[in-house]
Amino acid sequence: GPSRGSAAENIAEFSLAAIFAAAKHLPDIWVHDSQWNFTALTPLKGTTLGILGFGAIGRSLAGKALALGITVVALRQSQTPFEVDGVESARDIHELFSRADHLVLAAPLTPATRHIVNADVLNSAKPGLHLINIARGGLLDHEALLKALDRG
C-alpha cells in the first residue's frame, strides 16, 4: 500500500542524505557505525552511485540521484529491466563495486545474497568507496569489511 512506498521514499532520502554528507564534508555515516569519518570535499554531479537491489528503495533513490546529475549503475537479482530511464546495468557485483563512488546496499536478504559483499567483492571496490548499508546486515561480511577498512 501507500505506507510501503513512503517508507521507501524515506529510506531513499536518507541514503541520498548520507551521500550528500560524505560529499559535502559533513559527518559521514559508515555502515551503521557510530564513528565519525570525514571524507574529502567532492562534487556529486559526475560521480557514480551504485545500487545493489532495485526494489522500491532502489528505484526511488535512482530517480533522485539521476536528477542531480549523478550516474546510476545498478544490479538486481532478476533480469527484469530497470523501470527508471537512465539507469545503467552492471554486469556483476564486481563491476558495480569497481565503478561506484557511493554504493547503497538495498537488496533483500536471501540465501543468494547472504554475505554477497565479501572480501573478494570489497577488493574490487574503488579506493575511497562510500558504502551505505540500508539493507539487512547479512548482505555484508563484516569481518571482510573490517579487514578492508584496515587496508584503507
Looking at residue 28, its pLDDT comes to 39
CA distances from 46 to 31, 39, 96 (A): 23, 17, 16
* Residue 80: Cβ-neighbour burial (10 angstroms; 0-12, 13-18, 19+): exposed
Looking at residue 40, its pLDDT comes to 44
* Secondary structure (3-state) at 22: helix
Q: pLDDT, tens digit, for every residue of 101-151?
A: 999 998 888 888 888 999 999 999 988 888 888 876 777 887 887 777 776
CATH architecture for segment(s) 2-151: 3-Layer(aba) Sandwich (3.40)
Domain regions of the chain by residue span: 2-151
Q: Quickly list H helices, the chain.
A: 2-23, 56-67, 93-99, 119-123, 142-151
Is this model's pTM higher than 0.75 or not? no
Q: pLDDT, tens digit, for every residue of 70-81?
A: 999 999 988 788
**Residue 91 — very low, low, confident or very high, per pLDDT cuts 50/70/90?**
very high
